Amino acid sequence: MIPAIALTLLGVSAGLVAWAVRGRSADWLAPSVWRGPRHRKAVALSFDDGPSESTEQILKLLAQYGAKATFFQIGQHVDRLPQVTQRVVGAGCEVGNHSYSHRRFDFTSAAFQLEELQKTQWAIEAACGAKPVWFRAPFGVRWAGLAKAQKACGLNGAMWTVLARDWRLSGTQIERRVLGKVDNGSIICLHDGRGLEVDPDVSATVEALSRILPVLRDRGYEMVTISELLGKSETSKKSP
């Protein structure tokens, strides 16, 4: 039989690995942020899995309430809908890298991760003329090799403070979850797409957002991009 202390050590080791891979505050495998300063009355809205056919609905809501956001886009969707990426930038929002194929990175090679980041950087630059400076891993999963891939592409990792789980909850549940957890410096993770789906149903997200935005405004929050929240440059301009 395996001694109890050995089982305990195995359990601790497994827990540390799990935290390093998916923990929102972990940065062992790649540099990452998960929140902004607590002293500032501001939050960063972010949207994953776009661009989609519904992204413009979200842009209209953001504009209505004077809000900006960071959109972490999948390279395959950018190639499919480059005009939507252009409209995100034209609305004063920020575009981030969310990989090319939206495949989880655990147990993948460093070469695969680099290719996923590079192809998405190229797709976004071709669409809107600027390269992202932020990367959010699909499903929040980081892996060995990601730090080098991020550095090679000029990217820093961004996780979240509040995960809306809007791909599975109703509009009312999303609203309660976000408003119940948000505080100064929060990075809020929502979705304007659903993985690689074409024309996905994001009506629950849109419904929730229409109620979240006025409440955040009335509570006195600035609603900004991740770069604005952290005082960083938003994009790397396309080389002449």
User: Which are the catalytic amino acids?
Assistant: 48, 191
The answer to whether 117 touches 133, Cβ cutoff 8 Å, is no
Return the axis-axis angle of helices 146-153 and 110-128, rounded to nearest 10°: 30
Q: Distance of CA 204 to CAs 84, 165, 170, 178, 224, Å?
A: 20, 11, 6, 13, 22
Distance CA 120, CA 212 (A): 30
Q: Which DSSP letter does residue 138 get?
A: G
Dihedral, CA atoms, 179, 182, 184, 187, nearest 10 degrees?
-120
41: phi > 0 → left, psi -120 to 50 → alpha, else beta; which?
beta
Q: Cα–chain-centroid distance for residue 142?
A: 13
The answer to whether 69 touches 45, Cβ cutoff 8 Å, is yes
The answer to whether 159 touches 135, Cβ cutoff 8 Å, is no
Quickly count: other Cβ atoms within 10 Å of residue 95's Cβ. 29
Return the axis-axis angle of helices 203-218 and 55-64, rounded to nearest 10°: 10
